[in-house]
Amino acid sequence: MKITSITPWIVEAKGTYFGEFMFVEVKTDEGIVGWGEVTTSTKLANRSVAGVIRQLEELLKGSDPTQIESIWNRSFRNFTYMGSRGAACLAISGIDIALWDILGKSLNRPIYALLGGKVRDDVLLYTHPDQTKFTDPGAVKEEIMGIVESGHTALKFDPFPHLRGLQVRRNGYLDGELSREAERIGAELTALIRETTGPEIEILIDAHGRFNVPTAVRLCNRLKDAGQIDWFEEPVPPESYHALRQVREQIDVPIAVGERLHTRWEFVPILENQLADYIMPDVTWAGGISELKKIATMCEAYYVPVTPHDASGPINVVAGSHVMITTPNFYRVETSLHDLSSYNRFIQEPLDNSGGSLKLTDKPGLGIEMDMDFLRAHALDGYGG
Ligand SMILES: [Mg+2]
């Protein structure tokens, strides 16, 4: 079997958080087609990664798609002088997922069976409220109760993105400061959500890497007092492990990091220096199914739980779940919302996340089929179709 084409698809999805999703289609000369995903956080990044995927098509056309380890390393080393993490690693991730889909389809086996088999029946999830609905305390309670009633037992939110105008925007970092007014509003929101969930739901806080060391420490302690929080994620930007250590030494809430780290090598200093309680690589960014399995095994040696950041699209959550259903040291997989019906437009059969866990089918490969009519009708010009 040989690879005949690798195509980045950017597909418009109005009404969703991202507004568009990026998938990767790998075709072969035997008619087997594999799919991956690399939806990023900005349109600029999606288009940059699509350009890298097009270059990798030139490199990999004619290769045997079942030689996944060889293709991963050959692709990765081609970017070594420009830096093999970032865009290169994202492009490799999307292709890697598609290659595992092809391998599973060629052997008529689900991917998890090729990774050692299941160690659990389904994959526990955590999810987010839709914070655009947080217009008043009653609306907050209604949204949170929707999650609790869906059967999810952990939820994550960012107490601060609704404070536009009071601080830098979501992905921004200038001075890492937050006003005392914004801090108070965030603490009040956290207290309201804890009051709504009761004590037995796990509440995870995402700081989105926006704060300097003293601000992160102050906010974490304030939110802990307000709402008995269960983790504080990305307290500082990903560039400084030293800053992360300083925060860690001054708080007693578990820390989660990893969605902006790429490959097994970037997790070594986190594990060796005991900088986090939870490791959260994204299967579509950190290096694909191959790399997530390796990172998870590294964490297993340290008894650190893995909890993939897989909150963009349907392939993202399913690919991460195939690895996690085979992983002993597992906490939960992240999903964007408890109601995943916005994913159904992309795939032929809806995902089953009833009761707060994802059920994987025993169909070959990823076990999902793309809805080609929808994809063709909504692909951006020059990206798929
Ligand atoms: Mg996050």
Domain boundaries, the chain: 3-109+371-378, 114-358
- For the cut 70, the answer to whether the pLDDT of residue 170 exceeds it is no
260: CA distance to ligand 1 center in Å?
Answer: 9
Which strands make up the sheet holding 333-334, listed edge to edge?
333-334, 123-126, 357-358
Q: Which of 292, 319, 263 is nearest to 24 (CA)?
A: 319
130: CA distance to ligand 1 center in Å?
Answer: 15
β-pair partners for 10 = 22
pLDDT at 232 (0 to 100) = 98
208: CA distance to ligand 1 center in Å?
Answer: 5
83: CA distance to ligand 1 center in Å?
Answer: 23
Whether 262 is catalytic: no
The active-site residue out of 128, 262, 309, 322 is: 309
**How many Å separate Cα 161 from the centre of its chain?**
19
pTM (two decimals):
0.96
Banded pLDDT at 161 (limits 50, 70, 90): low
Mean pLDDT for all residues in the chain: 95
Counting residues of the chain whose pLDDT is more than 90, the rounded percentage is 90
Banded pLDDT at 168 (limits 50, 70, 90): very low
Query: Residue 325 is encoded by which pair of tokens?
Result: 């259903």
Among the four given CATH numbers 1.10.540.10, 1.10.1740.10, 3.20.20.120, 3.30.70.20, the one describing domain 114-358: 3.20.20.120
Q: CATH says 3-109+371-378 is which class?
A: alpha beta
The active-site residue out of 208, 262, 322, 378 is: 208
Whether 128 is catalytic: no
Q: How far apart are CA 380 and CA 385, in angstroms?
A: 8
Q: How far apart are CA 252 and CA 224, in angstroms?
A: 9
Instruction: Please compute the mean of the pLDDT values over residues 85-93 and round it to a whole number.
Output: 96
- For the cut 70, the answer to whether the pLDDT of residue 352 exceeds it is yes
- The 10s digit of each residue's pLDDT in 96-150 is 999 999 999 999 999 999 999 999 999 999 999 998 899 899 999 999 999 999 9
362: CA distance to ligand 1 center in Å?
Answer: 30
- For the cut 90, the answer to whether the pLDDT of residue 279 exceeds it is yes
